[in-house]
Amino acid sequence: MAVEILKLREHKERTEEAADWFHSKWGIPAEAYKESITEGFGNRIPQWYIAVEKNRIVGGIGVIENDFHNRKDLRPNVCSLYVEEAYRCRKIAGNLLRYVCEDMKESGIETLYLITDHTSFYERYGWEYLCMVQGDGEPEMTRMYVHKETDFRGI
């Protein structure tokens, strides 16, 4: 069975389930996710997406204004990308990234940013290293990537 990507703004009935799932992966309170997901129902940002197989969440991703770093001018930010371990290496993360970039482009947002400790993963999907940023409350600097081109036909 194929993995399907759902926009939570179009699947409001899955808000609680998605908030709990994101909470279980990142430790941020489920209520904060629920609030952000709900805010996205009437706004371009934030937006949240889940990947489902057999009606079970196997991956997720979000787009928020700022992913808790000091460069408030570099926005919006892709955040919370996660794929269940048993579902990795099936192109789900790449498909989530592609889907988000295309969805944001359709809403008029062509440049996205993200922070990560990974050094090669995102380049495979058209992201480019931009600079180092200071994460809120973090002692070490974090890598900031930018994605300006949302045409994935060559990938």
How remote is the C-alpha of 60 from its chain's centroid? Answer: 7
pLDDT band of residue 137 (cuts 50, 70, 90) is confident
The model's pLDDT over 84-114, given as tens digits with 9 standing for 90+, comes to 999 999 999 999 999 999 999 999 999 999 9
Mean pLDDT, rounded, for 4-9: 98
Q: What is each CA distance from 50 to 12, 58, 88, 143, in whole angstroms?
A: 12, 8, 15, 25
CB 99 within 8 A of CB 63: no
pLDDT at 155: 40
CB–CB of 121/46 below 8 Å?
no
Read off the pTM. Answer: 0.92
> Over 60: is that where the pLDDT of 154 sits?
no
Q: Which two tokens stand for residue 72?
A: 């408030």
CA dist 38 → 18, 99, 106, 119 (Å)? 11, 20, 20, 32
Give the per-residue pLDDT at 15.
Answer: 98
- Could you tell me whether strands 128-134 and 4-7 are parallel, antiparallel, or unpaired per DSSP bridges? unpaired
DSSP percent split of the chain into helix, strand, coil, nearest 5: 30, 30, 35
pLDDT tens digits, residue range 18-76?
Answer: 999 999 999 999 999 999 999 999 999 999 999 999 999 999 999 999 999 999 999 99
Residue-range domain boundaries for the chain: 4-109
Confidence of residue 7 (pLDDT cuts 50, 70, 90): very high
pLDDT of residue 1: 63
φ, ψ of residue 117 to 5 degrees: the values are: -95, -10
Residue 153 has pLDDT above 90, yes or no: no
> What topology is assigned to 4-109 in CATH?
Aminopeptidase (3.40.630)
Rounded distance between C-alpha atoms, residue 53 and residue 32, angstroms:
25
Nearest of 91, 122, 9, 84 to residue 144 by alpha carbon: 122
The predicted pLDDT at position 149 comes to: 61
